Chain A
């Protein structure tokens, strides 16, 4: 079964850090671009970051540039998001998603919740 499972969410104070993980299974992880997409409470979807198969290209939304870092470990079939200098507006459910060659997100994880609050 093709699956993405996120972990690492939680409650963190403003200015703090958190590292999210996403474990992939059921497909050749190293063959796909991967992404993080988030959704603030009661709001719409926001693309956060993309990473190429070999990590040679990484892209970020302006809202997280310079604070978040996307990475991957193809040997472990895992995707990561290091989040630093967290702000209240980063509070959201964070989804790991596979970016298909059709430029659509065809596989999504169940999401992990990040709450930034004092």
Chain B
């Protein structure tokens, strides 16, 4: 199985900061990577698909990059509503889908 490792596990930042979360795959997944935001008690929300494509309705301050085994999610100008836990997810095949362990983002 492909393992996904996110870093950091926890992040504390202030409104207006630029924030980056990294996700590493144990083997190449080309560009089959998505990013989600989850708030407490809610379902995850898709932010980025195919490593760098912004989901419709998601603010442009969110961006994704990378391919192969290393990927990043960047929030260019952190807003108070951006708190929550962020997950990466890889697709290698229909029988091999895994998520990273999550990065909890706290707003100072």
1/0 contact string of A95-118 vs chain B (CB within 8 Å): 100001011111011110000000
Residues of A within 8 A of B102 (CB): 44-45
Output the residue of B43, B45, B53, B101 with the most chain A CB within 10 A.
Answer: B43
1/0 contact string of B58-93 vs chain A (CB within 8 Å): 000000000000000000000000000001010100
Cα separation A104 to B46 with both chains bound (whole Å): 8
Interface set, chain A 29-83, CB cutoff 8 A to B: 33, 35, 44-47, 50, 52, 57, 59-60, 62
Nearest CB in chain B: distance from A42 CB, A: 11
Residues of B within 8 A of A109 (CB): 43
- Asked whether A44 lies within 8 Å of B94 as measured between CB atoms, the reply is no
Residues of B within 8 A of A44 (CB): 87, 99-102
Taking A44-B87, A47-B97, A102-B34 as known contacts, 17 extra A-B pairs with beta carbons closer than 8 A to each other, sorted by chain A number, are: A35-B97, A45-B36, A45-B44, A45-B87, A46-B99, A57-B94, A59-B95, A62-B1, A100-B49, A103-B91, A104-B34, A105-B44, A105-B46, A106-B49, A106-B55, A109-B43, A111-B43
* Shortest beta-carbon contacts, A-B, top 6: A103-B91, A104-B34, A108-B43, A104-B49, A59-B95, A47-B97
